[in-house]
Amino acid sequence: MQFDTNNHERFIYHFDPEENDIDMQTKDLEIYYGKNLAMHQADIQFKKNTITALIGPSGSGKSTFLRSLNRMNDDVATVKGQILYKGVNINQPGIDVYEVRRRIGMVFQRPNPFAKSIYDNVTFALQRRGIHDKKVLDEVVETTLKQAAVWDQVKDSLHKSAQSLSGGQAQRVCIARALAVKPDVLLLDEPASALDPVSTSQLEQTLRELKPNYTIIIVTHNMQQAARLSDYTVFFNLGEAIEYNKTRKIFTRPKIKLTDDYVSGNFG
């Protein structure tokens, strides 16, 4: 591993160059809203089959950063620099953005099931792509709902509205919907913020079970959640990645005082 210590106020972990299991990374990433620079100094690598937590105070840029990873900021911001997915810069002209979003799935802060049945929620993107073979769709529905740990709860009501589900169930159906198109990377923007503690615990267990097959990047305000769930953590402040390291080091031996203040509750 290598460390970027050119600026004493930043500490950014880098994997060894010979490692070939980096699913995504950003280089020289800058994000502007109009003329306002909202994100800079975000050179971050994401290792395959790990969970990385993005933490920081409100307005620190973590959600802005997350949304840039699958080009969700295209219509609202100017994104400069490289966003490398399996070595390809997806932040360049000519890239098929819809294919990017198929491979890099997104689950939003509040459960947002479509006004359709559970079955049609999960298969929506597949049907839009012209896949209508019932056997294929049935298999996808069962497989992804099992992956999202909600199959046993909804298998007898697949043709009922997904909007009738509890918050925790709806969020896991949204995860299944994202998994249906077989992404490699799963982005989650505070997916537990609207859930009760039991549903939050179930969601975290779901993400642990998904980790062997997906690279997961999650924005969370919950320090305990980041500490118990993630392998790596990035601390953002004022639009800058201040510290990136293994989670246990961020929470026990941070290199930067600002990080220490934040994770210990002495921030602000």
Q: What is the pLDDT of residue 267?
A: 75
| Predicted TM-score (pTM) of this structure | 0.92
Q: What is the pLDDT of residue 17?
A: 64
pLDDT (average), residues 158-172: 94
Looking at the 3D structure of the chain, how many domains does it have? 1
| 255 belongs to a structural domain | yes
> Quick one: CA dihedral 64, 34, 26, 176, positive or negative?
positive
| 268 belongs to a structural domain | no
Tokens of 222: 């919950």
Q: What is the pLDDT of residue 5?
A: 43
CATH number of domain containing 41: 3.40.50.300
pLDDT at position 189 over 90: yes
Tokens of 200: 């939050």
| 32 belongs to a structural domain | yes
| 217 belongs to a structural domain | yes
Q: What is the pLDDT of residue 199?
A: 87
| 144 belongs to a structural domain | yes
pLDDT at position 31 over 70: yes
| 146 belongs to a structural domain | yes
**Mean pLDDT in the chain?**
91
| 221 belongs to a structural domain | yes
The range of the structural domain enclosing residue 106 comes to 2-263
Work out the pLDDT band at 12, boundaries 50, 70, 90. confident
Work out the pLDDT band at 109, boundaries 50, 70, 90. confident
| Digit-coded pLDDT (tens) for 215-236 | 999 999 999 999 999 999 999 9
- Helix, strand or coil for residue 259? helix
The upper half-sphere exposure of residue 5, i.e. CA atoms within 13 Å in the direction of its Cβ, equals: 6
pLDDT at position 19 over 70: no
- State the pairing for strand pair 215-219/185-189: parallel
> Rounded to an integer, what is the distance from CA 259 to the centroid of its chain?
21
Which residues, 6 or more positions from 58, have their beta carbon under 8 angstroms from its beta carbon?
221
| 31 belongs to a structural domain | yes
